[in-house]
């Protein structure tokens, strides 16, 4: 992997991580097209640059994270627990799913149909929607929705946004809680995976560290722009475009697969 390839993957990560379109599906296409999907560094890199993406959330919403608000942190912890527990228990099963490109394509297509219908389903929620979670059990239910995203192609953002809408949040609040929940979830997952890679490989080379640094900076900048743009678009236009986009990406993966173009899972 060279610096340009690292920047391209970081841009993909920054754009897709917080949008309900599955960053996994995009990373598969991007790394496969560039011919670097099989490189050991690629999987490590795609995990490492998540740190830059989650820092963008802390940067944009620093008041929520730096102001001591016990209720806010309690709800994040409650929502985080289901994925932390199931992620550990189902680690091997999740890795097995990650080997199947068709699973990613299918989940993109199914999720696309759901997102096309989402605005209609939750129209009443939008009219009466809350800007805050009022109950701890609502945070727990959103955490359960996040567990669905362990299936590759579902999208963590998509699952948690739908979970937020189901708990009475309006679109903006559901998306923002999804961003907040990403911080502990992705930070824990990144540390866990990076530690595993470190133990397996005995450390990182200077060149790898340089690529990680560049990737995190790019992912941070792009993710910050993507989050602001997503919130602005979502409040005005809703989810339908993301549904159609997911269907296009899912169909593209299927077409490439059945055309004999090998797509490598990360």
Q: Where are the domains of the chain?
A: 3-258
| Alpha-carbon distance values, 156 to 15, 21, 210, 231 (Å) | 14, 9, 28, 16
CB 223 within 8 Å of CB 13:
yes
| Alpha-carbon distance values, 28 to 80, 93, 187 (Å) | 26, 19, 21
CA distance 182 to 173: 14
| Alpha-carbon distance values, 140 to 88, 176, 251 (Å) | 18, 16, 33
pTM of the model: 0.87
CA distance 169 to 90: 29
Please list the pLDDT of the chain residue by residue as tens digits (266 residues). 899 999 999 999 999 999 999 888 888 888 888 888 888 888 889 888 999 999 999 999 999 898 878 999 999 999 999 998 987 777 666 666 666 788 889 999 999 999 999 888 887 655 555 567 778 889 999 999 999 988 888 999 999 999 999 998 988 999 999 999 999 999 988 888 788 777 777 778 888 899 999 999 999 999 999 999 999 999 888 899 999 999 999 998 898 888 877 666 55
CA distance 245 to 236: 18
CB 27 within 8 Å of CB 234:
no
């Amino acid at each position: 992997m060279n610096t340009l390839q690292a920047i391209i993957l970081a841009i993909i990560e920054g754009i897709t991580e917080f949008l309900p379109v599955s960053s996994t599906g995009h990373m598969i296409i991007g790394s496969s097209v560039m011919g670097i999907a099989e490189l050991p560094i690629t999987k490590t890199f795609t995990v490492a640059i998540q740190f830059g993406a989650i820092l963008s959330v802390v940067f944009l919403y620093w008041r929520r994270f730096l102001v001591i608000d016990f209720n806010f942190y309690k709800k994040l912890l409650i929502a985080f627990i289901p994925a932390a527990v199931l992620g550990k228990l189902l680690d091997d099963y999740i890795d097995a799913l990650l080997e199947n490109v068709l699973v990613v394509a299918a989940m993109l297509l199914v999720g696309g149909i759901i997102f096309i219908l989402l605005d209609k389903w939750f129209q009443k929620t939008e009219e009466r929607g809350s800007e805050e979670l009022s109950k701890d059990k609502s945070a727990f239910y959103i955490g359960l929705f996040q567990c669905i995203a362990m299936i590759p192609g579902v999208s963590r953002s998509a699952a948690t946004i739908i979970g937020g809408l189901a708990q009475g949040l309006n679109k903006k609040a559901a998306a923002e809680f999804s961003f907040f929940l990403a911080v502990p979830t992705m930070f824990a997952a990144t540390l866990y995976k990076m530690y595993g890679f470190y133990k397996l490989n005995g450390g990182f080379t200077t060149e790898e560290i340089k690529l990680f640094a560049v990737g995190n900076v790019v992912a941070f900048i792009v993710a910050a722009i993507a989050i602001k743009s997503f919130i602005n678009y979502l409040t005005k236009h809703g989810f339908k475009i993301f549904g159609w986009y997911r269907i296009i990406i899912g169909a593209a993966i299927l077409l490439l697969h059945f055309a004999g173009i090998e797509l490598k899972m990360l």
